[in-house]
Amino acid sequence: MEEVKVILRTADQTRKAEVTLAREKTGADVIQAAVDNWSLATDTDYALVNFSSGKSLAPTGLISADLVKDGDILEVQPVLVAGI
């Protein structure tokens, strides 16, 4: 099983952890683990962004080597919904 070491943090940087992720995990898996471990709001949608490259990771996409490298910073960002 291939793994990658990254820094996972919230957008406001109040929570941060160095974690090792299996490459077969999806963006949604990482977001769900952050929500569970950090008691983030469950009524909010989140996006996972590779802060180091500026690229968003698809919820159904794997943590592949071409998207995430050792030492990258992955940020769990709330998806803001604008009202009228």
Q: What's the pLDDT tens digit per position in 11-51?
A: 999 999 999 999 999 999 999 999 999 999 999 999 999 99
Strand order in the sheet with 3-10: 16-22, 3-10, 73-78, 46-50, 55-57
The pTM score is 0.91
At residue 6 the predicted structure's pLDDT band, cuts being 50, 70 and 90, is very high
Class for the domain spanning 3-78:
alpha beta
What span, in angstroms and rounded, lies between the C-alpha atoms of 12 and 14? Answer: 6
- Domain ranges in the chain? 3-78
Helices (H), 1-84: 27-38
